[in-house]
Structure 1
Amino acid sequence: MELFGYSLESIYLGVLIVSGLITLFYLFFGEAIEGALEAADFLNPTTVLAFITIFSGSSYLFESLSSISSGIIILIGAAIALLASLLLHFFILVPLKSAEESLAYTEQSLNGRIGKVIITVPADGFGEVVIESFSGMISKPAASYDNTPIPEGNRVLVIDVTNGVLQVKDYEKALDLSSEKSTF
């Protein structure tokens, strides 16, 4: 069968080569392209490119290696490409997207956490605290909540986060105060 004066086999091969080149280009410049296509969130460029590449590749193979009619080859190629794109989307892209989100933390999520002072927190200045999390260690600048110095190595309780700076209190003193209040 011919389309626009070209055989379907050569059209499939041309589309396969072009989509392969676009995929390679997308590999290098994907972040910029995703930023430009942010409004069309339902069309993921990865799955669209995968569909076109797999459709043209499988259709080219069927056209050149079998004697099935061109209409059935188009349907088989589309079915194979749709199945592969759905598998790619649901088993690779969705888990990757949720994994990226789970590694993030908000400043509000640090409230109430316990950390360790790695650079002494002076009474009226800044030190540094590390907090262990599931994704690793979080290192943040810290200031004393009640303007008392906290030496290196002490455990601290995060009271608040203001402009990216942890407001911390010495954890041992905070425990002593809470036990004194509960005895009355």
Structure 2
Amino acid sequence: MQTLYLGCLALGVIFAVVSVVVGDLIGNVLDGIFDVASFDFLNPAVLAGGVTVFGGAGILLTRYSRLEDGAVLALSLLIAAFMGVVLYLGVVKPMDKSEMSNGFSMSELPGKIGEITVPIPAKGYGEIMVKFGAGNSLHTAASFEQLSLPAGIKVVVVEVREGVALVTEFEERKGVDS
């Protein structure tokens, strides 16, 4: 039994070291392997952590307790399961919810309010800045109604055509006749 525990402990430690060194590569290779079972807790980090804890608990219980082999095995499995749940609830699940991306799709632009950073001529292109989450993004823009739009005014994106945001003024400018 000692060999089983040592093997599980070594396997877990090796997996941890390798995942730190080449984690992205492993993530891409293992991506989707556990989707068949569709259980969130069947995460490679949780499984590797459980195997490592099983091996470590087995070694410690064998050396420092007077329990029989069957009791050590059962207790090691319980400790590993408990620590797997703790790892899942304390690390994996919160990390899944905290993932944030500053990426966006151009199809998300219509309806967004932005500000003109480079004036838009009646028949030409300028630039707008649109806020996405915590960051801003700059986009090539043209006037939807083919009107000149000066820098600094607020606009709303009406649609996106061929990668260009077509915008219209969001609020009427003061002192300008329509």
TM-score, length-normalised on structure 2?
0.77
Matches within 5 A, 1:95-134: 95-100=94-99, 105-134=104-133
Tell me: CA distance 1:162–1:53, structure 2 relative to 1, closer, same or farther (3 Å): farther
CA contact (8 A) 1:157 1:171 kept: yes
Q: Which moved more, 1:41-50 or 1:131-140?
A: 131-140
Residue 32 of structure 1 aligns with which residue? 25
Moved more, 137-146 or 52-61: 137-146
| Contact 1:20–1:53 under 8 Å retained in 2 | yes
- In structure 1, the gaps of 5 or more residues are 1-7, 175-179
SS of the residue aligned with 2:149?
Answer: coil
Q: Distance in 1 between matches of 2:169 and 2:27?
A: 45
Report the 3-state secondary structure (helix = DSSP H, G, I; strand = E; otherwise coil) of the residue aligned with 1:141. strand
**What is the CA–CA distance in structure 1 between the aligned matches of 2:28 and 2:89, rounded to whole Å?**
22
Deviations 1:92-117 (A, max 9, x none): 22332233257654444332121112
Root-mean-square deviation over aligned CA pairs: 2.8
Give the distance between the partners of 2:14 and 2:162, measured in 1 at CA. 45
Spell out, residue by residue over 1:2-42, the C-alpha distance to the aligned partner (whole angstroms, 9 max, x if none).
Answer: xxxxxx33542343123212211112322222222233224
The percent identity for this pair of structures is 27
Q: Shift in Å at residue 86 of structure 1?
A: 2.0
Q: Is the 8 A contact 1:115 1:129 kept in 2?
A: yes
Shift, 1:83, TM fit: 1.8
CA contact (8 A) 1:19 1:52 kept: yes
Q: In structure 2, what is the Cα distance between the partners aligned to 1:149 and 1:159? A: 16
Higher helix share: 1
Residue 133 of structure 1 deviates from its aligned partner by 3.9
Matched, 1:19 2:12: yes
Cα distance between partner residues in 2 of 1:61 and 1:157: 65
- Structure 1 CA distance for aligned equivalents of residues 117 and 109 of structure 2: 17
Name the CA distance, whole Å, in 2 between partners of 1:164 and 1:76. 60
CA distance in 2, matches of 1:165, 1:86: 48
Q: State the TM-score, normalized to the length of structure 1.
A: 0.75
Structure 2 spans left out of the alignment, 5+ residues: none
> 1:76-95, aligned counterparts within 5 Å?
76-95=75-94
Partner Cα separation in structure 1 for residue 23 and residue 169 of structure 2: 46
- Length, aligned pairs only: 169
CA contact (8 A) 2:54 2:80 kept: yes
Q: Deviations over 1:46-94 (max 9, x none)?
A: 1111111111112111111111112111221211221222232234223
SS across alignment from 2:160: strand
